Amino acid sequence: MTEMELSTQRQPPHAVGILGGMGPAAGADFVRLFVQACTEQLREQGQPVHDQAYPEHWLVQLPMPDRSLALRRDPQSPTGPAQHLLQGVGRMAALGVRSVALACNTAHAWHGQLQAFFPQLHVLHIARQTALHLQAGGARQAIVLATAGTYDSGLYDAALAGCGIAALLPEEGGRARLMQGIYEGVKQGDTALAARCFGEVLEPLLQRHGRVPVIMGCTEIPLALPLAPQARGAELVDPAWILAQALARDAYGFNRSPDAGALRA
């Protein structure tokens, strides 16, 4: 049987969705990561790589209220991100997607609400997928660079602890510097400023803890941190790439490490 005949016998991939707009550059970059992950998945499965082999995938870019601000004020405010997140996932559910990825770390503070509201979907969890990835590599500690909202929610602390990994966090001054890099740097198109901010936060953490994985726990941090001199030689972990790989596995029906219920107590 020829390769083409084998490919026609396989089940077509499932439709999946990506919720972006948090910010828009990170959402657009996540689509690039997802397509790259699909290419790798096809090659890993020995399938031909061509246009028709890629899954149907929908990107919804909604103007999303600030997640960190909402978590510090009212997470369920009618003008906050909760209703926008539900609306975005609802639009993708109506399009028939099977799985959804949120292209924002902080937005996962509402993950439980989204999953409960749309039980027919698999809403992937970025921190759990990242923790499982690090656990598989034998990590015992990891530096977490993230937004104030992600720190406040304990998103990575809980996911890493569930996999026996200690979260190493910057102090308040470092957290403020990260927010400057995200908001005044990446979101304003000033990548050089962002790289300086992120590098200044990372350097003392590496000096204190040594060579441990560095989780870039905001989808905008990978857009600048690799450019910082302080990041050279560091083990940079991009949760967006890990999430994109998980979404690709879901699309092709090969998800080997589902996040639901997979963490150790």
pLDDT over threshold 80, residue 260: no
Per the prediction, the chain carries an average pLDDT of 91
Predicted local distance difference test score (pLDDT) of residue 163: 97
- List pLDDT tens digits, range 179-227: 999 999 999 999 999 999 999 999 999 999 999 999 999 988 999 999 9
| Calpha distance 18→159 (Å, rounded) | 22
| Calpha distance 246→248 (Å, rounded) | 5
pLDDT over threshold 60, residue 243: yes
| Calpha distance 31→171 (Å, rounded) | 33
CB 206 within 8 A of CB 234: yes
| Calpha distance 215→235 (Å, rounded) | 9
3-state secondary structure 97-163: CCEEEECCCHHHHHHHHHHHHCCCCEECCHHHHHHHHHHHCCCCEEEEEECHHHHHHCHHHHHHHHC
CATH number of 3-126+241-252: 3.40.50.1860
Which residue do the tokens 């509402």 mark? 110
The encoded tokens of residue 172 equal 């308040």
**Hey, how many other C-beta atoms are within 10 angstroms of the C-beta on 69?**
14
Higher pLDDT among residues 126 and 254, named by residue? 126
User: Which CATH architecture fits 128-239?
Assistant: 3-Layer(aba) Sandwich (3.40)
Average pLDDT score over residue span 103-130: 96
Predicted local distance difference test score (pLDDT) of residue 24: 83
Q: Where in the chain is the domain with CATH 3.40.50.1860?
A: 3-126+241-252, 128-239
